[in-house]
Amino acid sequence: MNKPNWQQTAGVLMLTAMLGGCASFGDETAPAKPLTASQLQLDSHSASQVGPGWWQQLADPALDQLISTALQQSPSLKIADARLREARSAIGMTESKDGLQVQANASMDRERYSLYGLLPAPIGGNYYDVYTLSLSASWEIDFWGKNRAAVKAAIGNQQAVALEGQQARLVLTQAVIAQYTGLQRILAQAQLLKARQQLAQSQLALTQARVNAGLLPGDSLRQAEIRLKQLSQQDSVLADQADHARHALAALTGQPPHALDSLKPAPLKPAPAMPDAALTLDILGQRPDIIAQRARVEAMNESVKAARAEFYPNVALTAFAGQSALETSDLFKTGSKVVGIAPAIHLPIFTSGALQANLASTRARYDMAVENYNQTVLDALRDAADSLSTWQKTAGQLSDAHQATQLSRKASDSTVLRFKAGLVDKLAVLQAQDADLNQQAGKIDATAANRMAWATLNTALGGGFATSETTQQAH
């Protein structure tokens, strides 16, 4: 067999490389650009306020267990994990294209050879069996970085999927806290409502006694009876809301609807203190959803590089070695050896616009990835700004509710003293106590709103996800 002339091969390769310029990239437009920190007008000082496991500041073992169960059993997170496994396997599939491919082949071919073909009679014009055993290997030489860019794109997509899984965990944690806090509020209001129902019963009994004594007209009972029915209606509404909250928690934790019917959450307490928060540059590296979209932008940039590399010549080497014979008894004889090598060059000169269309499509997907990133950043900043504002406002509302509760308690105590002094009647005492309980109900709502705002703010600031590495990447 003649030895290959590598000088000629190299010359052909150089020629095809030059001819590769014949395939035009098509019309090029300016690519979309990600928003910069200066455009977003964010402060540059570091101000990370959220640490990992931030919900543990609530010191509530029951809540900790619910969050742990949700993070382990939620079907939505299992879907996210499956997507991550799929993305990881895609990296391996892409990497395999950049390596040596080796295959073993065994075949039996029964064929009638042409009488007027390459082989004369007696082979020509007759049927023969051909037995072949061989190993074949192929290697695509990635001169222009197409496969390397594809691998980087697959890695970027895998990183984005992993970060989206982190965001899903963060959102799930917030949802569990919100439902749990809602259940705490409902149960606290239900307990307070029982006390108000007892007061209403006392008011009705006192009014009935006065009507019986002729001190009040009979229709004076109507208002007390209506009030008692209204409170009973509120009790039914709260019971229904408690059921819904338990069902929601069960669904979030991957359990049947009635799995948490016996759940008794800890009493509702104010949210922990939180340092003054601000929207700083760090938020770009603290939120998994932002970093995920940035990873997709980088992945699509690599895809554009791979699409551009398609315009250049593709060089592949294929070789095979094995045994081939017409009889199985001759298959392993020395003379049955077959060997071949086949360098191949694919030169895209005219493809009817297929390469240009693919590049244009990839560029469009890159632009979409950039604008998705920009929209995610804007939505995240709005979300964080809203959460910060709500946290500050609910803190003020809770302070006002606390002061109002103190004043209503003093007013109730003062009415009791006046009753003991004979200055007011028992009905006035009951009305003052009901007003105090009503104010306490307002404080419960304010406490729950402040707790939910605290959880939302922690989530909006990234839930403790940020690391120095991710922050630098985002910047």
Single out the residue in 294, 325, 347 at which a domain terminates. Answer: 347
pLDDT at residue 11, rounded to an integer? 57
CB neighbour class for 208 (10 Å; exposed up to 12, middle 13-18, buried from 19): middle
Task: Give the predicted TM-score (pTM) of the model.
Answer: 0.80
Residues 261 and 275 in one domain: yes
pLDDT at residue 262, rounded to an integer? 93
7 located within any domain: no
68 located within any domain: yes
Residues 116 and 203 in one domain: no
Measured CA to CA, the distance from residue 348 to residue 144 in angstroms comes to 14
Measured CA to CA, the distance from residue 231 to residue 200 in angstroms comes to 9
pLDDT at residue 1, rounded to an integer? 43
Low-confidence ranges of the chain (pLDDT < 50): 1-3, 20-21, 467-475
158 located within any domain: yes
pLDDT at residue 16, rounded to an integer? 53
pLDDT at residue 374, rounded to an integer? 93
Residues 278 and 423 in one domain: yes
- In tens, the pLDDT along 282-305 reads 778 888 999 999 999 999 998 888
Q: DSSP character for 369?
A: H
pLDDT at residue 5, rounded to an integer? 57
Residues 394 and 449 in one domain: yes
Q: What is the CATH number of the domain that holds 114?
A: 2.20.200.10
32 located within any domain: no
362 located within any domain: yes
Q: What is the CATH number of the domain that holds 83?
A: 1.20.1600.10
130 located within any domain: yes
Measured CA to CA, the distance from residue 90 to residue 154 in angstroms comes to 6
Residues 254 and 163 in one domain: yes
Are the C-beta atoms of residues 320 and 288 closer than 8 Å to each other?
no
**Number of domains the chain is built from:** 2
23 located within any domain: no
- In tens, the pLDDT along 306-316 reads 888 877 777 77
Residues 435 and 422 in one domain: yes
Residues 155 and 261 in one domain: yes
Q: Give me the phi and psi of 46, to 5 degrees please.
A: -75, 135
Instruction: Kindly provide the residue ranges of all beta strands, DSSP E only, lying in 256-384, ordered along the sequence.
Output: 314-325, 337-346
Measured CA to CA, the distance from residue 291 to residue 34 in angstroms comes to 12
pLDDT at residue 19, rounded to an integer? 52
Single out the residue in 297, 326, 347 at which a domain terminates. Answer: 347
Residues 220 and 118 in one domain: no
Residues 257 and 284 in one domain: yes
Residues 63 and 169 in one domain: yes
371 located within any domain: yes
Residues 384 and 308 in one domain: yes
Neighbours of 143 (CB within 10 A): 13
Measured CA to CA, the distance from residue 462 to residue 166 in angstroms comes to 10
pLDDT at residue 339, rounded to an integer? 84
- Residues of the domain holding 368: 45-98+146-312+354-474
Residues 383 and 301 in one domain: yes
DSSP string for residues in 167-193: HHHHHHHHHHHHHHHHHHHHHHHHHHH
